[in-house]
Every structure is written in structure tokens, then in C-alpha cells.
Amino acid sequence: MSSDSSQPGADNAQGTVPKWQPPRNTKGAGGTSPQVEKALVDVRSKIYPRSVKGVFARWRIWMVYFTQIIFYGLPWLEWHGRQAVLFDLLERKFYIFGMILWPQDVIYLTVLLLISAFSLFLFTAMAGRLFCGYACPQTVYTEIFMWVERKVEGDRLARIRLDEQAWNARKLRLKATKHFLWIVIALWTGFTFIGYFAPIRELGGELIALSLGPWQWFWLLFYAFATWGNAGFMREAVCKYMCPYARFQSAMVDSDTFVVTYDFVRGETRGGRSRKIDHKEAGMGDCVDCSLCVQVCPTGIDIRDGLQYMCIGCGACVDVCDQVMDKMGYEKGLIRYTSERAIKERMTQPQVRRRMLRPRVLSYILILAVICGAFVYTLATRTPMRVDVIRDRGALGREVPGGMIENVFRLQVINTSEEAMELQLSVTGLEGARIHLTENGQDHIHVAPAGNRLLPVVVQVPISSAKPGLYDISIQAIGEHEGGRKTYVNERSSFYIPQ
């Protein structure tokens, strides 16, 4: 980026574009870039983010409430006398309110993953790492843990002093209180997590009686430990060094993406000054170089160095810089959500928003709309029963008393609804063909709500109906659910008549 006054919008509040530009990744004398050296120092040093109030801080708090009410509350919701959302791995059934998914329905989960992926692409192309800043579990739990830390140990300076001082009774008490509260939250989070995979009310009783199974103990403690470690200690390191999304987001972000950006045209030349002087006359920009934007940053970066992959787009620096601008009597928005192009070309916010709907974004919206439409359509038209016919390869056709040839099949019937179902069987394709269950000789079956039955059935045809050979047949199943709803399934198979 060069300061080219011929660029559209090159004029700024000071009249010309300043010489300062975001630094580039230049190699140091030793072959290691200064950024790499800085990163190595960053890994070793702890970050003490300062608390901040403002519009985006409020949004973050609301998002913590929103996501956590859903996460902690959902497993306790009841639906038709059972847990509303339960991924029952033992029974291999996923209950999601009125919908029951079976292993055969894995396509729906695949489509859900596709929808999530394209939503992420869309939001990233439009507004960068919005998900990271407001809804990512790492950010949300770090926010909760930092809130506890601030309540127990105090704000930034108090925490720095506490960490620097020698161990004494007060420090021990504060640290023990903080960790106790963190561990309680982490254990509750672990318990809630396993409550999505086994009925949570029964789990609660078993937990109180300390009689959980070994795998339940393992996952509860593992998830609790991961929460405690990631939100209490790893924090920004997860976003900076472990999160793969941070690495590939650059492929989705372009110069029209809305990201947290420092307006270097307006802000430079930065520097301290008295509120009384006319800083523009003195050749200064709006940045007073107070470093508050760095102090509030949960990942410890300086947004004035330009867009960095470590920025999670939380907006904390926007809030604090707006407060500084207010105090100085300057216009807000020195750091704001905008695009790189808007800063360079001095575009207005309406112009920037119009640029949001560019071809890449429109194509993501189109793909997403098609996938969502197909998903909703297939779910709405999904039959409430599934019938699979499997030929018994161990028993080929044989002659039975009464002048009949019989073939044995296995019938898998799944009732995907929550109403009991009566299933009537019939067979076509060969003259005189009839079908019945091996166990009772009947041609109808009762299937319980959300039931799954695997039943041997027999198809018989008169010997005189066809010559030896293999014939196509169709097995029909008509399911009648409580309430009178009828479903029809036709399964093709083959019938063997021996010599």
C-alpha cells in the first residue's frame, strides 16, 4: 500500500494520506521475521485483557447468555414425555424435538454439516471472524472464565500485581476461589455435554450417587478438563496457534469483507497530545497512542498493525477507542467494522454495505438457499416408516407341504414416528404368491413408536405358478399410524424356484 494521493478518496481529515502504512512482514537480519520473534515472545507471556464496556461488549454478553441458555438448558427440555434433544448412541437414535433420526438418516446430518460449512463461508466472506468473536465456544467460555477471574482477582492491574507478588494467604485464597469456581463451571459443562448423549435426568441421579459408568466418567472429566484448560489457561493461544479456521479464513476474506479495521488514514501520525491543541494543525492524526486498544484485546494484538489472522473480530478495541475518541472530542470510529477498500478509497458506510453483496457472497447465498430448501423439502416429505427386505442367502427356495415353494427373507421395519404403527404386508409378481411372518404365520405387524423390528418372513408360491428360475417380486408394506395416517412402501426383491 503506498500513499498515493491520486487514489480515490486520498484526501482525509488532514488533507493528505499520511506516510505511515501498516507494517509488512519483513525478514530480520537473522533470517527470522520480527513477527515470528514477536509470536515466540507472545506464546511465553500471559495476556491480561482489560475489561471494557460498550456496544460490542454488550453484544458479546448477550451472545454468552444466548448460547449458554441453549447449551445448558436444551437437555432438560421435555418433548412428548422424553428428552427433546438426545443423541442416544446406545440405541442409535437421534431425537431432535419431533424428529427421530436413525443411522440410515446419516444424509441429514451430512447436509446439516454442509449448511453449517456454507453458513461459515458466507459469514466470513461478509463479516470476517464474526463467529469467533461472539459465538465460538472458546470465546464464550473464555468470556465466562474471565468474568469470574475479574470478580475474584480484580481488573487488569490488580491481576498483574497479584501474579507478580510472592505467595501469601490472600493470594492463595483468591487463586483457590477462582479455581474452585472454574472447576464447578467446567464440571457442570462436562455433565451437560454427556447429557446430550444419555438421558440427563437419569444421569443427574447417577452422578449424585457416584454411579456413572466408566465412559460417562471419562467424557465428563475429559470435557470438564478441556473447558478448564482452554478457557482458563490456553485462551488466546487456541485462537492464535491451534484453531484451523484462523488459518484458512484468509481464503474467504477479501478487501470488501467487513472486519475490525484501524483507519490509518485518519489515525496517523499517532501520538500523545493535549486536548487543547488543534492536532490537525500540529500535523497529527486522531490516534492518541494510548495503547488501550491493545490492553483490551483478548489476543493481545495491536490492530493498528493492520488486519491479522489472530484478530477474532470481538470489537473490544472498537468500544475502547470510541470512548477515547469521545473523551478527546473526536469523531468515533477510528477503529470500526469496515472493509480495507473502504479505508483506502474513503467510502461511506452505505457504499461499503452495498459492496457486501458481491458475486462471491451472492453465490454462497444461492448455494445455501438451495441446500436449505432441499433439506427442508426432504424432511417435510420424509416417510414415517422405513422397510428393508434382505434375502436370506442361507436358505434358497425349497418345496414345502401343500405344493408350495418358499423363500425366506428378513424384513427390517423402522417406525420413524412417535405413533404406534400397524403394518400390513402383501406380495406381487408371481401368481398365487403370499407372505407371512415366520414366528406366527400372520401378515401384519405391530411396531411401537420409534420402534425397530427385524423379522423373518416367508414368501410362498404354488409350484405350478412358474417354471424353475429367478423372478422379480415386490413386497408391499402399508403402515397405518395411530390417528389414521397411512404410508406405503414397495420393496423389490427376487424369488427363486428350484429345479
Binding-site ranges for ligand SF4 (CB under 6 A): 260, 262, 267, 270, 287-293, 296-299, 301, 303-304, 311-317, 320-321, 324, 334-335
Beta bridge pairs of residue 94: 87, 101
CB 142, min distance to ligand SF4, A = 11
CB 273, min distance to ligand SF4, A = 11
Residue 123's Cβ-count burial label (10 Å; 0-12, 13-18, 19+) is middle
Which is nearer to ligand SF4, 185 or 287 (by Cβ)?
A: 287
Q: In angstroms, rounded to a whole number, what is the distance separating the alpha carbons of residues 491 and 426?
A: 11
Q: Produce one character per residue of 42-65: b if its CB has 16 or more CB atoms within 10 Å, e if not.
A: beeeebbbbebebebbeebeebbe
CB 347, min distance to ligand SF4, A = 20
> What crossing angle do the helices spanning 169-194 and 55-73 adopt, rounded to 10°?
50
CB 356, min distance to ligand SF4, A = 19
CA trace torsion 67, 72, 73, 74 (10° rounding): 80
Which is nearer to ligand SF4, 269 or 493 (by Cβ)?
A: 269
Which is nearer to ligand SF4, 311 or 475 (by Cβ)?
A: 311
CB 340, min distance to ligand SF4, A = 14
CB 214, min distance to ligand SF4, A = 40
Q: In angstroms, rounded to a whole number, what is the distance separating the alpha carbons of residues 185 and 62?
A: 19
Which is nearer to ligand SF4, 297 or 387 (by Cβ)?
A: 297
Which is nearer to ligand SF4, 75 or 133 (by Cβ)?
A: 133
Which is nearer to ligand SF4, 18 or 313 (by Cβ)?
A: 313
Q: Are 385 and 417 in contact (CB under 8 A)?
A: yes
Which is nearer to ligand SF4, 219 or 330 (by Cβ)?
A: 330
Q: Which residues lie below 8 Å from residue 81, measured CB to CB, with a gap of 6+?
A: none
Which is nearer to ligand SF4, 299 or 338 (by Cβ)?
A: 299
Type of residue at 405: I
Q: In angstroms, rounded to a whole number, what is the distance separating the alpha carbons of residues 324 and 280?
A: 17
Q: Are 108 and 99 in contact (CB under 8 A)?
A: no
Beta bridge pairs of residue 78: 83
The grid cell for 112 is 446439516
Q: Which residues lie below 8 Å from residue 326, measured CB to CB, with a gap of 6+?
A: 332
CB 337, min distance to ligand SF4, A = 9
CB 128, min distance to ligand SF4, A = 9
Which is nearer to ligand SF4, 73 or 271 (by Cβ)?
A: 271
Q: In angstroms, rounded to a whole number, what is the distance separating the alpha carbons of residues 450 and 230?
A: 39
Distances (CA, A) of 411 to 123, 392, 437, 497: 46, 10, 9, 20
CB 295, min distance to ligand SF4, A = 9
Q: Which residues lie below 8 Å from residue 52, measured CB to CB, with a gap of 6+?
A: 296, 316, 319, 320
